[in-house]
């Protein structure tokens, strides 16, 4: 219990954990927070209406309980408004730290960077390490773990933690509560525009349960679609797709065909002109993320030769991106993406038909 705030001490760091029905995951994180050395923590559990005893677990562990309406952004903002430390750390309930002095070391690195830059506009995140129950997809997980250490656009999300001076968080206006999704990515990109991101020392373990329950490939495709539609302003998708971003406790085998059908229906309803505009914007978005296959090759290279260099990523940045910056490549990429969409829809329909048949025969 020594790591949590005690009477007579001013906390160095307020750790904020948003929860909804996290009675299984939360005790492990709280236990690790108690073990953190050389740092005084104020731990705040921001609960959005749990029905499984999560609030009682938080209070029994000595954490401060802040209750609000559901919505992760709203919950975290509510907790941040009552935090008393000069620095804030936002963690997901299924995250696990990987060393006892991790938070003290991370906070010192953040402070040092702020001092070097003579600015409080600095935020830090950890590299991810997935905690898995199922074997397989080792290379794919390695890719996403390596990608989490980068500080490129849309590579930073809530799973990686967010360590930030309270002053900077308040200046940013906190998390956007106007939408029910991507509050972490929206704040991350705002930080990127107005300040500096750093990768903190150490790793943060996160559960791979969503990927394992829904399917890694399907989940990653859906995440890419969500990020693309958010980027191009395709808000109609989110207004109609109320089940595509479910709470992790409710996840199961993810069906992609209803999602593809919804996209097709929305484009048909909008008319050909708007549909073409969306596909071109999608082509532009996909082209801006063309660095990812290059980085994937670097990850493969690193596993073969145990090197941390990124020659393929450098090739993209110095050659591929300048060459493909003309509008012709936007149209070409849009066309290729449209073909991928049609083929993938057919493939997923066949796979899901087989899955339903196997479930019925089981």
Q: Are residues 169 and 23 in the same domain?
A: yes
Residue 310 and residue 278 in one domain = yes
Residue 2 lies in a domain: no
Q: Is the same domain home to 245 and 334? A: yes
Q: pLDDT tens per residue, the chain (362 residues)?
A: 344 554 456 899 999 999 999 999 999 999 999 999 999 999 999 999 999 999 999 999 999 999 999 889 999 999 999 999 999 999 999 999 999 999 999 999 999 999 999 999 999 999 999 999 988 899 999 999 999 999 998 999 999 999 999 999 999 999 998 877 789 999 999 999 999 999 999 999 998 888 888 889 998 999 999 999 999 999 899 888 875 544 434 556 788 999 999 999 999 999 999 999 999 999 999 999 999 999 999 999 998 888 888 999 999 999 999 999 999 999 999 999 999 999 999 999 999 898 888 777 76
Position 1 in a domain: no
- Tell me 318's DSSP state: I
- Measuring CA to CA, which residue among 351, 339, 342 is closest to residue 261? 342
Q: Are residues 187 and 242 in the same domain?
A: no
Asked if residues 244 and 226 have their Cβ atoms less than 8 Å apart, the reply is yes
Q: Is residue 6 part of a domain?
A: no
- Note the pTM of the prediction, 2 decimals: 0.89
Q: Pick the last residue of a domain from 180, 207, 234.
A: 207
- How do beta strands 196-207 and 122-131 pair? parallel
d(CA 175, CA 39): 26
Name the residue among 180, 184, 133 with its Cα closest to residue 157.
184
Q: From residue 128, how far is each of 43, 103, 149 by CA, in Å?
A: 21, 15, 7
Environment class of 50 (CB within 10 Å of its CB; exposed 0-12, middle 13-18, buried 19+): buried
Task: Specify burial of residue 220 (Cβ count, 10 A radius: 0-12, 13-18, 19+).
Answer: middle
Using only the alpha carbons of the chain, give its radius of gyration: 22
Could you tell me if 217 and 288 lie in one domain? Answer: yes
Q: Are residues 171 and 309 in the same domain?
A: no
- Domain range for residue 347? 212-361
> How many other β-carbons are positioned within 10 Å of the β-carbon of residue 140?
16
Domains: count for the chain: 2
Q: Is residue 4 part of a domain?
A: no
H runs (alpha helix) in the chain:
26-35, 54-60, 72-82, 102-117, 138-147, 166-172, 183-194, 209-214, 216-232, 235-240, 257-270, 272-288, 291-305, 311-315, 321-323, 327-361
- Look up tokens 């499984």; give the residue: 52
> Where does residue 325 rank: exposed (0-12), middle (13-18), buried (19+ CB within 10 A)?
exposed
Q: Is 54 inside any structural domain?
A: yes
Does 8 reside within a domain?
no
Domain presence at residue 218: yes
Based on the fold, state whether residues 156 and 221 are members of the same structural domain. no
Are 184 and 331 within one domain? no
CATH number where 156 lies: 3.90.550.10
Is there a domain that residue 246 lies in?
yes
Are 167 and 307 within one domain? Answer: no
């Amino acid at each position: 219990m020594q790591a949590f705030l005690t009477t007579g001490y001013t906390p160095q760091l307020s750790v904020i954990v948003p929860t909804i029905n996290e009675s299984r995951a939360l005790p492990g994180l709280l236990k690790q927070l108690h073990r953190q050395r050389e740092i005084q923590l104020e731990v705040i559990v921001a609960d959005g209406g749990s029905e499984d005893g999560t609030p009682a677990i938080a209070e029994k562990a000595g954490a401060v309980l802040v209750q609000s309406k559901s919505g992760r952004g709203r919950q975290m903002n509510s907790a941040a408004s009552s935090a008393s430390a000069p620095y804030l750390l936002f963690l997901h309930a299924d995250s696990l730290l990987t060393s006892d002095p991790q938070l003290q070391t991370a906070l010192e690195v953040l402070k040092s960077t702020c001092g070097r830059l003579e600015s409080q506009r600095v935020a830090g995140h950890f590299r991810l390490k997935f905690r898995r129950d199922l074997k397989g997809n080792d290379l794919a997980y390695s890719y996403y773990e390596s990608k989490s250490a980068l500080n490129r656009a849309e590579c930073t999300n809530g799973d990686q933690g967010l360590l930030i001076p309270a002053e900077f968080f308040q200046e940013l206006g906190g998390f956007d509560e106007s939408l029910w999704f991507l509050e972490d990515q929206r704040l991350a990109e705002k930080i990127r525009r107005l300040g500096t991101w750093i990768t903190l020392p150490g790793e943060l373990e996160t559960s791979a349960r969503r990927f394992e329950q829904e399917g890694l490939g399907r989940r990653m495709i859906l995440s890419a679609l969500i990020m693309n539609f958010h980027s191009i302003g395709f808000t109609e998708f989110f207004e109609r797709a109320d089940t595509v971003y479910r709470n992790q406790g409710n996840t199961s085998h993810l069906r992609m065909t209803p999602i593809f059908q919804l996209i097709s229906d929305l484009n048909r309803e909008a008319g050909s002109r708007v549909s073409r505009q969306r596909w071109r914007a999608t082509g532009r978005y996909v082209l801006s993320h063309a660095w990812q296959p290059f980085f994937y090759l670097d990850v493969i290279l690193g596993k073969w030769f145990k090197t941390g260099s990124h020659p393929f990523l450098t090739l993209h940045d110095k050659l591929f991106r300048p060459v493909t910056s003309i509008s012709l490549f936007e149209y070409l990429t849009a066309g290729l993406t449209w073909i991928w969409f049609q083929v993938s829809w057919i493939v997923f329909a066949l796979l899901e038909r087989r899955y339903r048949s196997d479930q019925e025969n089981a």
